[in-house]
Amino acid sequence: MLDADSILPGESFIQLARTIEGNDNTAIIQARFVEVSSETIFGRVSNFRFFTDNFLYTYYYYYMNPGFGFYMGHNAIIRVKAFMKCCNLPVSTSTRYFPSGKMTSHDYYEGCLMNGGGYETWVLPQIIAFDQQLHNILTFYQRERRWLVGAQEWFRFFMSKSLNTFGRLTMFQRAIFYYAASLGLCGTCVMYYAVHLAFTHSLRVGWVRTAYQMAISEETKYFLIFASLVMIPLVGQIFVNFLVLRKRHFIEKMGGTVKFFFSYFIFILFNLCVQLIAMCVLSRFLFLWLARKRITWEVQDRDGTLLPWSVCFKSFWYISLLGLMLLTYVYFEIFPYVNTKTMFFLTGLSFSETQAFLFQCLFVFPILVLTCAPVFVRVTSRKAPIFQKLQWLKTYYDDDNLYPVVRKTYQYTEEFKKTLAKTASFDAAIADPWFALRHMVSTPYKPKKYAFWKEKLQHKNIEELTRLEKLVVLRCRELWEMFFLKEYARKKKQDNQNNK
């Protein structure tokens, strides 16, 4: 099972087929995939994340959940008999929050259905596959919105009798996962209000001061315990990744130990900024789903083009607005009360003016990320050759270790971008398969424009269109598809007549 962005080496095809052939009770084998083919800042960080964290995660899932692997919808092999037996998806009626018909996202559910039918599903990290990477945050969350809406539909089906206990827990967990973003956003806003309350009404929160002073007493024993509980998982994850990759001799191919840890630091800082933006984006998507706003399958940028400033501000203005509101609140309601005296009263510790200033900088950092969200999205959609030159955020599968099929995909993609069609006429552009294959996928869907122009143009041939009408067709994917199919059918009919 391949997707449009799948890049699967030939040996992986053979391994998938050979493994499932001798195991009649195995319904799905999912390969471990790595995202590649992006040179933007967002793409390189995402590549690094997939190679390090996803590497350990798939091995963990393989050992801890044998026979209960997940299905990602592509880069896998499926036993058709088991699929036909177990995966007849339910057809539902429309309700207030759920549309009628079959579910939007069904890959994870199909894997759980086959588990419920008595079959095994496996994630095999030993079999490698590659995915073409999305190049910027905007297209990443356009895709994430479809997944979010599809995941909410699982609330209707996760208690199905066709699922076993593991499947029900899996579907419920993945459906409720997106609500963590809204909880995080609410928690962030409450945190700023709590700090305002602490600095402006210090006597009312005296119990906080007492608890804090107890925590740092006895030679800061409890404070160190708390700090350890916070830091150990993060530091432990970094060192576990390092030790595993070093044992497999991957670190040398990633630029060495120093560059690996520096790259991981960049990844953590970048991921912190993305998570702050994600809280707002996913919360908005949940609100739109509750409001029953219709979603469209937006065109995904696979060329790595730099996002225009207008698109960035149009897509993320509401995050900047929230950031400005929080920044105004903090500047006028909190910062006037932050000084060495109030900090000493709250904590019992002495702070210098410099330390108080550093506290203000650290405190306002998340707000600045939200305020500058459009700028962050724009900058991270830019290519950064210096990262490749200095071997930052490098993975094992870059450069010399790049699989031949991935290298060829790079080569053909670049040739495809630079090569022009044989003719540049409007008629050929609309009807030529080569030109349509290259450019139609990047043309957006425009349902309103299509509905307006369809009746006026559907009875015309390409030669009868005016220049304005041809420009409209090339800028509306539905109209382009309509004329492409009409012209293809007409040419096929002419060829049959000529052959006779």
Tens digit of each residue's pLDDT (9 = 90 or more) over 71-95: 888 889 999 999 999 988 877 787 7
Per-residue model confidence (pLDDT) at position 274? 94
What is the amino acid identity at position 264? Y
* pLDDT at 295 > cutoff 90: no
Q: What is the pLDDT of residue 318?
A: 95
For residue 419, name the pLDDT band (cuts at 50, 70, 90). Answer: low
- Decide which of 414 and 74 is more confident: 74
Q: Please report the pLDDT score of residue 236 as a whole number.
A: 76
Tokens of 253: 């191919």
Express as a percent the part of the chain with pLDDT over 70. Answer: 88
Residue 276 pLDDT: 94
Per-residue pLDDT averaged across 115-143, rounded?
Answer: 89
Beta strand pairing status for 120-132 and 26-36? parallel
Tell which residue, 104, 111, 115, has the closest CA to residue 151.
Answer: 104
Give the pLDDT confidence score for residue 222 in this predicted structure.
54
CB 25 within 8 Å of CB 117: no
**pLDDT band, very low/low/confident/very high, at 337 (cuts 50, 70, 90):** confident
Encode pLDDT of 201-218 as tens digits.
766 665 556 665 655 555
What proportion of the chain, given as a percentage, has pLDDT over 90?
A: 25
Mean per-residue pLDDT for 20-30? 90
User: How high is the pLDDT of residue 205?
Assistant: 60
Average pLDDT, the chain: 83
pLDDT at 357 over 70: yes
Q: Does residue 444 register a pLDDT over 70?
A: yes
Torsion of Cα atoms, 135 then 136 then 138 then 144, to 10° = 60
Q: pLDDT band at residue 486, thresholds of 50, 70 and 90?
A: confident
| CB-CB contact of 405 with 10 (8 Å) | yes
Looking at the predicted structure, is the pLDDT value of residue 484 above 60?
yes
* pLDDT at res. 409: 81
pLDDT above 60 for 462: yes
Q: How confident is the model at residue 323 (pLDDT cuts 50, 70, 90)?
A: very high
One-letter identity of residue 69: G
The answer to whether residue 171 scores a pLDDT higher than 80 is yes
The answer, yes or no, to whether residue 437 has pLDDT greater than 80, is no
Paired tokens of 340: 């060495």
Looking at residue 214, its pLDDT comes to 59
Terminal-residue alpha carbon distance, the chain:
40
Please list, in sequence order, all residues whose beta carbon lies within 8 angstroms of the beta carbon of residue 174, skipping any fewer than 6 positions away: 108, 151, 154
Q: What is the pLDDT, as a whole number, of residue 114?
A: 92
Structure tokens at 461: 């041939």
Whether residue 164 has pLDDT greater than 60: yes
| Residue 129: strand pairing partners | 33
Q: What is the mean pLDDT of residues 358-369?
A: 90
Output the CA torsion 218→223→226→230 (10° steps). -150
Instruction: Choose the most confident range, by mean pLDDT, from 82-91, 225-234, 319-328, 405-414.
Output: 319-328
Say if CB 6 and CB 74 are below 8 A apart.
Answer: yes
Q: What does the alpha-carbon distance between residue 125 and residue 335 come to, in Å, rounded to a whole number?
A: 51
Which of 141-150, 213-222, 459-468 has the lowest average pLDDT?
A: 213-222
The pTM assigned to this predicted structure is 0.80
Q: Averaged over 21-41, what is the pLDDT?
A: 87
In the predicted model, is pLDDT for residue 62 greater than 70?
yes
Cα(322)–Cα(328) distance, integer angstroms: 10
Would you mind telling me the total number of residues written for the chain in this entry? Answer: 500
Q: CB-based contacts of 412: which residues, under 8 Å, 6+ apart? A: none
Cα dihedral 480, 131, 147, 280, rounded to 10, equals -100
pLDDT (0 to 100) of residue 36? 80
